[in-house]
Amino acid sequence: MPVRILDILVALCLIALGVHIVWMSIGYGYIVRNVPGPGFFPFWVGLGIVLLSVLNLWKALRLERGERRDREGWAALRVVGIVLAMSLAILALPWLGMILATGLLIPVVGIIINGGVDRAFALRIVPAAVLMPIACYYVFGRFLNVPLITGVFGI
């Protein structure tokens, strides 16, 4: 997505968020018993978000098309891939547990960043996928006594 379009979309989202914050703040009570209530601070913060985002939107709209070229292009899709992989790993936690889920996540994220897999990369990522979750298990599960999620295999 071109940076200019993303800039406009973010500004529009922030304007909507600002309006929402102001709207909710009025419900919380701007002034309660003659002193500032729970809605006082959010009201001004929300208003600030709206005004600043309108100015940012105006600046983004003033930019010529293509004035700010997207230098990252398709590379940004890797970010989407990693976010999806992490989301799937989180959804799989109750079944796989922390160790197995992260053990599978490591090679998947590695392949996404690497843009593929070859023998040399596989020889490095597989040991990392095995050793890293085990090391984390010992640091967090044993040393720091964190009750890690275990899956159907009991690990």
Partner 1 sequence: METLGFLMAGIGAAMQPGILLAILVGVVIGLFISVLPGLGPAAGVAILLPVVVGLDGTMAMAALAGVYYGGMYGGAVTSILLGIPGDAPSVMTVLDGHPMAQQGRAGDALSMNVLASFFGGLFGLVMLVGVAYQVARFALAFGPTEMTALMVMALSLVSVLGGKDALKGFAALALGLWIGMVGLDVIGGFPRYHYGSMHLLSGLEFSVIAVGLFGLGQIFAAITQPPLQDSQKIRYTFRSLIPNPRELIRCRWDLLRGSVIGFVVGILPGVGATASTMLSYAVAKRFSRTPERFGKGAIEGVAAPEAANNSASYAAMIPLFTLGIPGSATTAVLMGGLLMIGLQPGPQMFQQHSEFVWTLFGTFYIGNVALVFLTILLIPVLASIVFVSRALLFPMIICVVMFAVFSIGYSVANLWIVIVFGVLGYVMLRLDYPAVPLILGVVLGPLLERAVRRTLIASQGDMMVFLQRPIALTLFVLTALFLLAPLAKRGLAAFARHRNAGS
User: How far apart, in Å, are the Cα atoms of 6 and each of 12, 29, 56?
Assistant: 10, 35, 12
Go through 64-98 and write b for each residue having 16 or more CB atoms within 10 A of its CB, e for each that does not: eeeeeeeeeeeeeeeeeeeeebeeebeeebeebbb
| Of 28, 130, 151, 155, the one binding partner 1 by CB under 8 A | 28
Binding mask 84-123 for partner 1 (x = CB under 8 A): --xx-xx--x----x--xx--xxx-xxx-xx------x--
| 3-state SS assignment for residue 2 | coil
Which residues, 6+ apart, have CB-to-CB distance to 59 below 8 Å? none
| Of 26, 61, 72, 95, the one binding partner 1 by CB under 8 A | 72
Considering the rule CB under 8 A, would residue 63 count as an interface residue with partner 1?
Answer: no
State phi, psi for 31 to the nearest 5 degrees: -125, 125
Question: Minimum distance from CB of 71 to partner 1 (Å)?
Answer: 9
| DSSP state at residue 150 | B
CA 114 from centroid of its chain's CA atoms: 21
Binding mask 40-59 for partner 1 (x = CB under 8 A): xxx--xx-xx--xx-xx--x
Which residues contribute to the site for partner 1 (CB under 8 A)?
3, 6-7, 10, 14, 17-18, 21, 24, 28-29, 31, 34-38, 40-42, 45-46, 48-49, 52-53, 55-56, 59, 72, 75-76, 78-79, 82-83, 86-87, 89-90, 93, 98, 101-102, 105-107, 109-111, 113-114, 121, 124-125, 128-129, 132-133, 136-137, 139-140, 144-149
